[in-house]
Chains A and B, each alone.
Chain A
Amino acid sequence: MESILFEIVPELRLHLRFDALGVLFSATAGILWLLVLPGPRRGRRYEALLALSFVLTLGVGTAGNLLTLLMFYELLSLAAWPLIIHDETAEALAAGRRYLAYVLTGAAMLLLGLAVVTLAAGDVGFGTRVEVPALGIVLLLAGFSVKAALLPVHGWVPQAHPIAPAPISALLSGLMVATGSFGMIRLIQVMDPPPLAILTGVSALTVVLAGVVATRTDHLKRRLAWSTISQMAYVPLAISVLDREALAGGIVHITHHAFMKGGLFLCAGLLLHHLGIRHVSRMGGAARRMPWTMGAFTLLSLGLIGIPPLSGFVSKWVIGAGMAQAGAWIPLTVLLTGALLAALYLMPIVHTAWFDPPPSEGPQVDPPPPTLIPVLAAAAITIVLGIGAALPGFPLALARAAARGIGG
């Protein structure tokens, strides 16, 4: 289903489109936004921009041509900036500047790519395949990879994620990074890509290196941010295999990862707010103080590692099955290494929280229901999406439909 929103000049129009891929992305955004809404009020600017970013994310999900996609995509980048620097500490402002530098560089490449592509093929709608020069695709892929946080243009993630308020970190990790991957999938949908060996190499390196860095990071939210870089590189890795099943896995991984990582960041926020814990090394006994929160954290961690039957396992399995079918052994190895690394940086947190003695005893301080329910909901979603993966209308079915539409 398509509708033309607005025609700037002939040939350049804003254009909405509803297909399986966009619907899945938008639905993910809608539910994740619901999860981050509860919590302390943070002022009018915050609330307004939070709502605006939601609309813009929906815009990214439902854009019907490249121009519309890029418009919403860039507006979202800008709308997120005041949210990231919400606390306005010197550190936050510095992280904000860095964030802007990165996303604007990406924007410049995207604009250039858009120009090249439009000159060659006119209006690029997502319904029909077009022939475009390789330069255009490369520029667009490079531009998207800034948001997708591929090495070496990942630098904004470990800065911006830890500094932003927890709900914003959850959104950044869950969806902002995903918009980059989403853009790449849209490109593959309509353009014949050049050989993607470089993308394979870059995303494989990202999975492994970011995972290694995450194991060496003590700051909890920063560790989760590195984990996002590592885990979200699964998506370009899956794209680069050019197999329909792997692509479906990549698409569904966006959704699964959004809930798992969003939930983890919300847990990290609760730990900071109620126990003042910022660092993994200080988490001894945290589970005795906040059993429900850490219970959700544990479950989400297991999901992210890919312990069946949780949702992270489903995406890993589908991507892996696609890679095995395509005979892509190296990406498959990288995929499993990424899972091992995820265990290496998440399980010590869980073990410390449950089994190590606390630095100081204290009463149980699990948060009140309004902020506890979202993390429990994220954990529940992880279970439901894992066990019910095969049900019609669930993310996996939508992702498979989307991948069928893309071919491969």
Chain B
Amino acid sequence: MSPLTPGSVGRFTFTVDSVTIHFASLTVLIGIGVFVFALRGMSGPSGGGTARAAGGGRGGTRGRFLLTALPTLGAVLGVVFAGDLLTLFVFFEILALLGFFLVRQGDGARGAAIRYFWTMLVGGLVLLAGILLRGGGASGPGSVLLLLGFGVKAGMLPVHGWLPAAHSKAPAPASALLSGVMIKTGIYGIFRVLTDPATPEMLHATVFTLGLAGAAYGALRALVQSDAKRLLAWSSVSQVGVILTGIGAGAWEGSLQHVMTHASAKAVLFLAVGAVALRHGTVQLAGLGGLWRTMPVTFALSLFAGLALMGFPLLRASAGKAEIHHALEGVPSAEAVFFLASAGTVAILLKLIAEVFLGPARDPDPATRASEIGGALTALGLIIAALPLLHPALPTDMPYFVATFGAGTVLYLTWRRWGPAWPPVRIPSLPSGWTVPLPAPPGLPALPEARLQRAVERYAREIAPNLALLFVVLLAVVFVLR
């Protein structure tokens, strides 16, 4: 039975094949790692979300996290094992609700959590419409809506906006679950749709293009972040783009491999950043440095996960990326964009590892340096999450890796020299009182002028440059592909 049959209400069906096994095993393994980490990694004074524990609630941060995370893993397994679209949708929506609580547990995560909720709700409705349309016989439009609905969950390019906000604000173990496991349900859905023969051929090209654009755009955005978790979140957008490129190009085996690589490596990196935050109370790159001395295990595992994500040829993880890369051969323009994305990934990870673990040591404030007791357990969690990467393989694609590594290093050094000046054009602060107060629509309260001004300034400073960058990347991808 195909997981893409519409299903009938009140009947839950489940299915098992190699794809579900693949997704389920990574879910379970990473879940265990995150749980072990959370046993110690949530109780520190500033491990993300702990300030809220003072506000009341029995069980505290860790209890609340475990209480949410366990059903989350269950819902992910439900999505993956679902034998029809209705069953899948049921778990999908439950997952969206639980994800809200996961994100909401972070410090200052209110806005990100609310944004996450609405995005998921609308995405869910689009998915539902797609399921109903496919069930009603309109396979073409139905597939488009399905892709859009799954794309929201996966962080596919035009609907990725919730992802960096939610993944950077959630507590670290929750981020590891979100990036490592939850967005993979979206990828799972897209994989199922694109491997279905009823899906129009045109959608493969669409997913391919969006994936390629996301890979490049996410990498560029990640490179300019100064917050370690935000950097990792944007890198997730980029890696999802790489995976979608592979799925769209037909490199299905390689994409599934890369799903595993990214899930495991990103979980390790998020947990590592969480462990750092636990000891140092910050995830701002400017406040960290030289930690390889005090946190050697975390450093080694981060380096290992980083190399895997870059596609280091001695690990099995590289095989997936290599296959995606080979699928692009013959389309030089796509190869160029993919090369940019790969170099960007190298630069991002170099930046993260160099600025957190290398360089001059900045000793933490003794007051926050309380939670070394958790070290062994948090490290164990990291090791478990890294297990899927531990699989040596014959070196393949060595020249490509060397090339991307070189380009990435150059990119990183370039950023170090000139990057902090992004965006390149400084927008002067707008004089107050310049806005024209618009007449309020009937029934709605008038927008206060200060709020309007803030919105316009935010648009000019943050949104517009990024939109421009996004536009350029999209334009480039679309043009070179023609």
Contact = CB atoms under 8 A, between A and B. Distances in A.
A309 B132 contact: no
Interface stretch (B133-141, B170-178, B181-189): B133-141
Interface string B201-215: 000000000000000
Contact of A323 (B10, B117, B125, B132): B132
A321 interface: yes
A6 interface: no
Interface string A287-302: 0000000000000001
B136 A324 contact: yes
Contacts of A202: none
A323 B136 CA distance: 8
A323 B117 CA distance: 27
Contact of B9 (A307, A332, A339, A396): A396
Interface stretch (B85-93, B279-287, B378-386, B422-430): B85-93
A320 B93 contact: no
Contact of A320 (B10, B104, B122, B128): B128
Given A307-B93, A308-B90, A390-B8, A321 B135 contact: yes
Contacts of B128: 316-317, 320, 336
A340 B125 CA distance: 8
A307 B93 CA distance: 7
B479 to A, nearest CB: 34
Nearest to A328: B136
Interface string B419-453: 00000000000000000000000011000000000
A390 B135 contact: no
Interface residues of A, number: 33
A196 interface: no
Contacts of B478: none
B10 A390 contact: yes
Overall SS of chain A's interface: helix
Contacts, number: 71
A15 B8 CA distance: 37
Report the interface size class on chain B.
20 to 34
B129 interface: yes
B125 A327 contact: no
A247 interface: no
A273 interface: no
A121 interface: no
A271 to B, nearest CB: 21
Interface string B82-124: 0000100110011001000000100000100010011001100
B11 interface: yes
Interface string B272-313: 000000000000000000000000000000000000000000
A324 B136 CA distance: 5
A111 B394 CA distance: 86
B133 A324 contact: yes
Contacts of B121: 305, 340, 343
Nearest 4 pairs of A and B residues by beta carbon:
A390-B10, A324-B136, A389-B10, A308-B90
25 contacts: A216-B443, A216-B444, A307-B93, A307-B97, A308-B89, A308-B90, A314-B9, A317-B86, A318-B9, A320-B129, A321-B9, A321-B132, A321-B135, A323-B136, A324-B135, A324-B136, A325-B135, A327-B138, A332-B133, A339-B125, A340-B122, A347-B117, A351-B114, A388-B10, A390-B11
Interface of B: 6, 8-11, 86, 89-90, 93-94, 97, 104, 110, 114, 117-118, 121-122, 125, 128-129, 132-133, 135-138, 443-444
